[in-house]
Structure 1
Amino acid sequence: MDPDSEDAIHHEREIRIICVGAGASGLCLAYKLQRSFRRFKLTVRTLYLPSYIRWRTLLTGVQIYEKNEDVSGTWYENTYPGCACDIPAHNYVYTFEPKPDWPNVYASSRQLRQYFQEFCCKYDLIKYIKLRQKVLEARWAETERAWKLRVQDLTSGQCFDDTCDIFIYACGYLNHWVWPKIIGLDKYQGDLVHSANWDSRVELRNKKIGLIGNGSSAVQILTQIQPEVARLTHFIRSPLWIFPPIEGDQRTYTPQEIETFTSDPRYLLSLRKRNEATANSMFSLYLRNSVLQNQVRTLVTSNMKEDAGYAFPEGKLIPRYSVGCRRITPGPGYLKALTQENIDVVYQGVAALTREGCKLDNGQEKSLDVIICATGFDTSFRPRFPILGFDGKNLQDVWAGQPKSYLGIAAAGFPNLLMLLGPYSPVANGPIMCAIEAQADHILMLVDRYQTENIRSFCPKTVAVDDFADHVQSFMQHTVWTEGCRSGFKNNTVSDRIPTLWPGSTLHCLEALRELRADDWDIRYHGNRFAWLGNGISQTEFDPTSDLGYSIRDHDDSAFSSRGLRREILSRSGTQPARELHRRHQPDVVKL
């Protein structure tokens, strides 16, 4: 009998993958799955499609469930006045998918939503996505080695079950907004809105507004609405570092600039690389007592005082904590807006809401027509729904205190579960889009092994997760993130948690994720672990168009065997002007 390709080495078995979330991470995953993988278990399904899509597809083995009516995640949900990305638009794109016609230096939420919609359409990704579907529970079935999901169709209200071999959680870092813990939220009779759940029907013009919080959202909202409101009271519990934007203040690109970006891809590439290099050169800012930290602190202090234009009360303008302890917030125009006649800055917290407004910590009462809570998100990383792994353990309970992950992409005790932007991802360490891609690539290394070997399940070893957590804790003691500031990196506490950030720069993360560390994983097989060797025939021999002599060549073009040389080739070492390297004051040198 002739050999069969399905019995040959590295046969690609059919698999089914379910992902939750169709934001930047979920769309990146769908694109990379489509680009690199071919064999999936096909199932028949129907689609709820947004208005800009005019067709439907019924067969797919990759399923993405999205609770919203459209793709783009946080950029679909956040629509507050002035909502924009504080990363230059030309760099808040997938590394391989530039957009030459961005209208502004910094893109609004609406423009970013359009970018992800266009990406979804261009690569035909909507066939993988089912909108208005809310996952209620995911449960690992050990006997079947599969994930069982309970899903609710938000259009019909009906619930149904689904099954997959690999389950991917891509719900994002800032996806669960929360009301502030203030007494009397239900007593206030005016309009109460949260920045991340904006109600566009609320009228702000000529009203008395209360703005609680002074993070990125509050900075953008205040700058946007200040000219039109009658009076705005801004409640600031602690000062904030206001950082100069990477590419200067917000402005509209001229038609000539957009034409140059469109007609000269090399020019656009040079701009993107310059922005990325600037962002990637700043990591030592986050290390305590570094030269860059001290230089930036002096510079930003001077810039803030100049922008403010007047003397703030002592200790109210310049934070005592280091630059970067809280998320760096660019705020062009914010400090000048605080000096306007219709702005009252209150340097204390809100003790309670009343029928007419609010009561301050000192007992003073304020009458307000609208209260805006720009108070952020639940950054505990606890999943939005129960995820039950080995022995029925719920990841919501496991991560109720200090979460533990493996490199930000997996959790011990939860087989065949992978995640994007999980705890200890580099969400504040530098550029984020390339980090999402690096996580997706690492995840797909595991998917590839699962598909081409006789693997039943894979899960990070508990010892590997614990060792990673210990390293993170040790590293964080040398960073500004563990200083006494209230931060989303610590789930909006001052010191109750270890910051859930990657222990290094974004480039450091990319390098760490470039290769799969199989020794960190508990991999279980169907039968003999070498059964994937099959019938002794190569898949190449079953390809009638392949070169059976591909190993013969006239020069050595193979990849270098050392990581160092591979890194130098990848980073184009020797091609850039020499720059000043990281410097630190000697008393606090990091030794890990």
Structure 2
Amino acid sequence: MKTTSPHMLDSGIRPLPIADGPELRAALKEANLQTLLMVYVHLTHDESMLETFKAHIHPPYTNLDYQTPQDCIDDLHEKLIYVLTTPGAAKSEDPPIALMKKMMSTGVGEPVDDEFIPMVIEQAGFVRSPTRKENPERTPPPPGFKVLVIGAGLTGILAGIELERAGYDHVIIEKNEEVGGTWWKNRYPGVGVDTPSHFYSYSFEISPEWNHYHPHGADMREYFRAVADKYDVRRNIRFQTMVHSLVFDDAAAVWNVTIEDLKTGKREVIKANAVFNAFGTTDRWSLPDIKGIDSFKGIITHSADYDENIVLKGKKVAVIGTGASSAQIVSTIVKEVDELVVFMRTKHWMINNPEVTQEVPKAVKWALRYIPHYKEWFRFRVFWFAADGLYPNVVKDPSYPEDGIAVSALNEGMRQYALSHMHHKLANRPDLIEKLTPDFPIFSKRVVMDAGWYDALLQPHTTLETTHIAEILPDGIRTKDGKEYKLDIIICATGFNASSLVQDLEIKGRDGHDLTVDWADEEERAYMGTTIPGYPNYFLSTGPNAGPNHAGGINIVSESQVHYMIECLDEMIARGARTVEVTEEAFIRHNKRIDDQMKHMIWTHPKSKSYYQNSKGRPVGPWPFRLVDMWNEMQEPILEDYRIE
């Protein structure tokens, strides 16, 4: 069913001239100065302005003075007003690549090397690859060739769009009743995204309509619904349908996929020439295994299955867990409930980022909508500081102790930054500082953004309980030291089951391969986190060791993997072949490379324990290199690493 979304997507068209008036003047006053500089140079190719501003632009994580002389700012504003409002004043062609590179380096106050340029130009939305199916030199998919996509979240929607542009017949199987995946299901109080709004979206659909600099759950739902509307993705989706098994037929070179209609319970087998597994780990939850949990007479719920109709006002509420979801929930509900008890299972590093709670001003939205190239340069700036700029934080300095509290000087600096924020907020509560200070390096597991967490813990009706839970009672919770809390509602913010990347899905490949056996004993591995030997024409999204765990960048990973899948299928079809499958040799070589690099990463620190690792301590989730490395390596497959038959 097609829906109407209030989240307006951008047409990409920026007609000039713009009328001079109060809206333009207000936008220039409130918009990001460095981004406005990029817009001016883009429209005029005037390199002299870069030199004027260069001495005043530094990365945000330095302590250098940011003050730009007012006369420089006024001069830039006046020149921009002229270019934007005068017919013919702006150049019609984009700047040459060399100038773009110079602009990027000046705009962020540090070098942007050549290896980043192609990725940045794409990810900032300046270019988009041509539609494949309109290329007369390309071999089109043969009639009847079908790709099956599992999941209609961020990656599944993207796969549907790109498969359509490439001319592939496809079907998307989605267990929910609407698109959006985890952002459709998660409705808990305060649900939001740690990654900045203007980065956490498709590079070809940069929306100017984000309400907050970090999107709330409702913003994400509307964004994905709007994208599905614009690209008519739903016509290829079977909603409320579950995939149970994938069995490869070697003779026919097809996957037999058993699906179930969740409304009727009816099962059927459909055939697909290729499968793209696009579901993630953040929709698999269960209530914690705590004695007496079934005896509770009040309301008990998991954050991932939260009912928005739950009435919290005036209630005695417990939140179990202290991770990202818990921090958002606690910060949101603290003013509404009568009593709040937070049961801490593990400690987390909390980062102060004021933008997490900030709304995007109307004037900035206007700039994003109407000033040519502002949205692209703004996205570039956000991307640069939310992506590989954070990578050095997770690389071990061999001169630091192997079991120390930090892995490098930069990592120690970030630890001190987080500690300073904690001590500032909790200056009068040394008991809370003692309870909350982690004993492991920052970034060794997911950091949490402070959107009011410390403030909530300071409230007189809030208790932070660090003693483990012994039992859930019919009317509350008893801890192991015998303390009892009377409760009306228990919210379990206890995370997800990340122990199996393919859930309980049965996947049987060729020559007797069974993924349950191949990945037994938690040995989940893949080639580039995307393909596995023994499973032809089967592709994973964010598979083993493909997670961007040093930065916000799941959208970049998804775009890279969808692109890579279509490159593989295109090569197979161009050769007249039926299957494409990574070789065992390439698979082994790639995973040795992963293991060798992981020795130098924070996730193998002896104090690093999180869902990034399996029960044996091996980091299964993180990609141990930079995002730019993944993007560059996935532009096209190394054909020698594949059997194409």
Asked if these proteins are the same fold (TM beyond 0.5), I'd say yes
**Partner deviation per Cα, 1:172-224 (whole Å, 9 max, x = no partner):** 13221122232222222221100011122332211111111111100000000
1:543 corresponding residue in structure 2: none
| 2:561 counterpart (418, 432, 439) | 439
| 3-state SS of paired residue (1:91) | coil
Change over 3 Å in CA distance of 1:412–1:184 after alignment to 2: farther
Change over 3 Å in CA distance of 1:181–1:490 after alignment to 2: farther
Give the letter for the 2:373 counterpart. Answer: R
2:537 corresponding residue in structure 1: 416
- Report matched runs for 1:68-217 at 5 Å: 68-217=176-325
Structure richer in helix, relative to its length = 2
- Report matched runs for 1:388-537 at 5 Å: 388-400=508-520, 401-430=522-551, 431-483=553-605, 484-491=607-614, 493=615, 496-524=617-645
Task: Say yes or no: does 1:13 pair with 2:133.
Answer: no
Taking the aligned partners of 2:179 and 2:531, their CA distance within structure 1 comes to 24
Task: Say yes or no: does 1:271 pair with 2:378.
Answer: yes
Taking the aligned partners of 1:151 and 1:384, their CA distance within structure 2 comes to 13
| 3-state SS of paired residue (2:285) | coil
Q: Could you tell me which runs of 5 or more consecutive residues in structure 2 were left unpaired when the two chains were aligned.
A: 1-136, 397-406
Taking the aligned partners of 1:104 and 1:290, their CA distance within structure 2 comes to 33
Contact 1:174/1:377 (8 A) holds in 2: yes
**Partner deviation per Cα, 1:510-561 (whole Å, 9 max, x = no partner):** 122223112222222xxxxxxxxxxxxxxxxxxxxxxxxxxxxxxxxxxxxx
Query: What's the offset of the Cα at 1:496?
Result: 3.1
Give the letter for the 2:507 counterpart. Answer: I
Give the letter for the 1:298 counterpart. Answer: Q
**Partner deviation per Cα, 1:76-130 (whole Å, 9 max, x = no partner):** 0111000011111111110121100112222111111111111111112222211
Change over 3 Å in CA distance of 1:11–1:356 after alignment to 2: closer
Taking the aligned partners of 1:258 and 1:144, their CA distance within structure 2 comes to 53
Contact 1:482/1:499 (8 A) holds in 2: no
Change over 3 Å in CA distance of 1:29–1:249 after alignment to 2: closer
Aligned residue pairs, count: 492
Taking the aligned partners of 1:406 and 1:368, their CA distance within structure 2 comes to 48
Query: What's the offset of the Cα at 1:270?
Result: 2.0
Taking the aligned partners of 1:394 and 1:76, their CA distance within structure 2 comes to 32
1:353 corresponding residue in structure 2: 472
Query: What's the offset of the Cα at 1:9?
Result: 9.2
Change over 3 Å in CA distance of 1:411–1:266 after alignment to 2: same
Contact 2:321/2:346 (8 A) holds in 1: no
| 3-state SS of paired residue (2:295) | coil
**Partner deviation per Cα, 1:252-276 (whole Å, 9 max, x = no partner):** 2232221121111422222211111
**For structure 1, which segment, 92-101 or 175-184, has the greater mean C-alpha deviation from structure 2 after superposition?**
175-184
Change over 3 Å in CA distance of 1:351–1:427 after alignment to 2: farther
Change over 3 Å in CA distance of 1:370–1:254 after alignment to 2: same
Task: Say yes or no: does 1:240 pair with 2:348.
Answer: yes
| 1:322 counterpart (441, 457, 479) | 441
Task: Say yes or no: does 1:22 pair with 2:152.
Answer: yes
Query: What's the offset of the Cα at 1:455?
Result: 1.4
Taking the aligned partners of 2:591 and 2:478, their CA distance within structure 1 comes to 42
- Identity of paired residues, percent? 27
Contact 1:173/1:422 (8 A) holds in 2: no
Taking the aligned partners of 2:297 and 2:141, their CA distance within structure 1 comes to 61
Give the letter for the 1:387 counterpart. Answer: I
**Partner deviation per Cα, 1:473-528 (whole Å, 9 max, x = no partner):** 2222222222324312125x5x533342112122221122223112222222xxxx
**For structure 1, which segment, 198-207 or 311-320, has the greater mean C-alpha deviation from structure 2 after superposition?**
311-320
| 3-state SS of paired residue (2:318) | strand
| 3-state SS of paired residue (1:390) | coil
Change over 3 Å in CA distance of 1:303–1:156 after alignment to 2: same
Taking the aligned partners of 1:397 and 1:269, their CA distance within structure 2 comes to 46
Query: What's the offset of the Cα at 1:392?
Result: 4.3
| 3-state SS of paired residue (1:387) | strand
Taking the aligned partners of 1:119 and 1:410, their CA distance within structure 2 comes to 27
Taking the aligned partners of 1:505 and 1:382, their CA distance within structure 2 comes to 25
| 1:335 counterpart (449, 454, 466) | 454
Contact 1:476/1:499 (8 A) holds in 2: no
Taking the aligned partners of 1:506 and 1:312, their CA distance within structure 2 comes to 39
1:386 corresponding residue in structure 2: 506
Taking the aligned partners of 2:204 and 2:510, their CA distance within structure 1 comes to 38
| 3-state SS of paired residue (2:621) | coil
Change over 3 Å in CA distance of 1:210–1:398 after alignment to 2: farther
| 3-state SS of paired residue (1:366) | strand
Give the letter for the 2:424 counterpart. Answer: E
| 3-state SS of paired residue (1:282) | helix
Contact 1:150/1:162 (8 A) holds in 2: yes
Q: Could you tell me which runs of 5 or more consecutive residues in structure 1 were left unpaired when the two chains were aligned.
A: 1-7, 41-60, 525-592
Give the letter for the 1:90 counterpart. Answer: H
Query: What's the offset of the Cα at 1:425?
Result: 1.3
